[in-house]
Amino acid sequence: MLLLLLLIIPTRTFADQVSDIQAQMNAAETQRDALLAQQKVLQAQIDAASAQGKTLQSTIDTLQASKNKIANDLKITEASITNDTLDVKKLTLTIAEKQQEVVDQKQAVADSMRKLADYDSTSFLANLLTDGNIAAIWQDEFTLSNLQDTLKNQITSLQTAQTTLAKQKSDKVAAAADLTSLQSQLAGQKETVQETQDAQSKLLAQTKDQEAAYQALLANNIAQEKAFEDQLFQFESQLNVTLNTSSFPSPSHGILPSFPVDKVKITQMFGKTTDSGRLYASGTHDGVDFGTPVGTPVHAVRQGVIAGMGNTDDDKGCYSYGRWIFIQHDDGLSSIYGHLSASIVTVGEQVQAGQIIGYSGGAPGAYGSGYSTGPHVHLGLYATSAVKIERYTTSIGCKAVSIPIAPPDGYLDALAYLPALH
C-alpha cells in the first residue's frame, strides 16, 4: 500500500503543476492577442506616415511609428518566448509523468509475469492431488486466464506509454528549437529599435530640423550612389567571367518559393526603369526593391547556406548595400538582401525558405542603410557560377569592405523566379 501511495503522489503533483503552467500559458496567449491587435493599429500609422512623401517630417514620423511598432513586436516576441518557455516546462513535466507511468507499467508487467510463472510451475494434476478440491483448481485456472489477459493489456499500455513518451520528447525538442529562434529574433528586434532611434536622432542633428537640409542630404546620397554604381559597373563589365547558363535554372515562378517580406510592395523593378536611369550610371537596377517599414522581418527566398555577410557602412563614404546577407542556394542561384537594420544569422548557417534572417532598414542616415532614400529591402539574384564575394580594393570609397561582385549578365531578375504576383 505504501508503494502504491508513493506512485500516486508524484502523478498528482505533476498534474497540478501542468495545470498551473497551462493557466500561465493562457494568460500569455491573452496578452499576445492584445498586442497583435495593437500591431494592426501601429501598422496603419506607419502606412499613413509613409504615404506623406519624402519630406523630413514624414521621415521622422515614419521612423517614430516604426519604432513604436518594433517595440510592440518586441513585446509580442517576449510573450511568445514566455509561452514557449512554459511549453518546454509543461512538456518536461508530462515527460516525467509519462516516464513514471512507463516504470509503473514495466513493474506491473514483471509482477504479472512472475505470477504466471508461479501458476505454470505446478501442473493441473499436481494441483488436483494436492488440493483435492476441483472447484478451487478451476478457480485457479480462471485466475490464470485473467492474469494472461491482464498481462496483454499491461503490455499494450506500456507500448502506448512509450510511444506517447517518444512523441512528447520530440515535441520538447521542437519547442526548444522554436524558443532559440524566438530569442534570435528578439536580439534582432532590439538592435533594430536602437538603429531606428539612432537614425532619427542623426537625421535631426544633420538637418537641424530644416527641410532644405534634408532634401540636400537625399540629393547627396543619390549623387554618391551614382558615382559608386558607375565605378562598380565599369569594374564588373571588365570581369573575365563566362556565364554558364546551364549551371542555373531558367526563369520560372516559384523556384524561389518565398518573398523576402510578407507584404509585397515593389518600389523598383529589375533592369532598365525610369528610376534606374535616374539613380544608376549603368542605366539599370541590379535587383528588386521592396518598400517596407524599418524593422520588418526579412525572409530567405529559398533554402541555402549563408555564404557571406557585411556592412558597407563600415567604410565611410561607401554608398552601397549597407548591411547585407548573401545566401548561396542549392540550385545554382544566389541571393543578396541589402539595407538591413539587423541580421540574426551567421556565415555557414543553413537556412530554410521563409526563415527570418534579419530585419529591414533603409532609413536615410541609419547605420546599415547604405545608399537609401527610404525604408526598403533590396533583393538581388545571381547565377552562383558568376558571382564572388571580394574586397573592392579598386573602388574610391569602398576599399575596406567586401561585397558580392558579378559581371552584368550574372545578375538575374528575382521576380522571374519568385511566385507570380497577382
pTM of the entire predicted model:
0.76
CA 6 to chain centre: 44
Residue labelled with grid coordinates 500559458: 25
Which three cell numbers mark 63?
Answer: 521612423
pLDDT at 3: 37
Q: Who has greater pLDDT, 151 or 195?
A: 195
Of the pLDDT bands very low, low, confident and very high (cuts 50, 70, 90), residue 91 is confident
DSSP 415: G
Q: What is the pLDDT at residue 277?
A: 40
Q: Write out the E strands in 100-204.
A: none
**Cβ contacts of 192 within 8 Å, gap of 6 or more:** 70, 294, 295, 341, 342, 359, 361
* Conformation bin of residue 53: beta by default, left when phi > 0, alpha when psi is -120 to 50: left
pLDDT digits (tens, 9 = 90+) for 273-303: 444 443 344 556 788 999 998 889 999 999 9
All structural domains of the chain with their residue ranges? 2-180, 217-416
Kindly list the distances between the CA atom of residue 327 and the CA atoms of 53, 109, 336, 346, 361, in Å, as whole numbers in the listed order.
33, 55, 6, 11, 18
Gap between the Cα atoms of 237 and 235, Å rounded = 5
Q: What's the gap between Cα 211 and its chain centre?
A: 39
* Residue 109 CA to its chain's centroid (Å): 46
User: What pLDDT digit, counting tens, does each position of 164-192 carry?
Assistant: 777 877 887 887 888 888 888 888 888 88
Place of cell 506491473: 108
pLDDT number for residue 274: 44
Q: Is 382 in a helix, a strand, or coil?
A: strand
Residue 37: partners with Cβ closer than 8 Å, 6 or more residues away: none
**Distance linking the first and last C-alpha atoms of the chain:** 70
Which residues 6+ apart lie within 8 Å of 76 measured at CB?
A: 32, 35, 36, 39
Q: Residue 88 is placed in which grid cell?
A: 518546454
pLDDT for 7: 41
CB atoms within 10 A of CB 210: 12
Q: Which CATH architecture has domain 217-416?
A: Distorted Sandwich (2.70)
For residue 389, is pLDDT > 80?
yes
Render 207-240 in DSSP notation, one character per residue: HTT-HHHHHHHHHHHHHHHHHHHHHHHHHHHT--
- Residue 123: predicted pLDDT: 55
8 Å CB contact between 362 and 203: no
Cell numbers at residue 417, please? Answer: 523566379
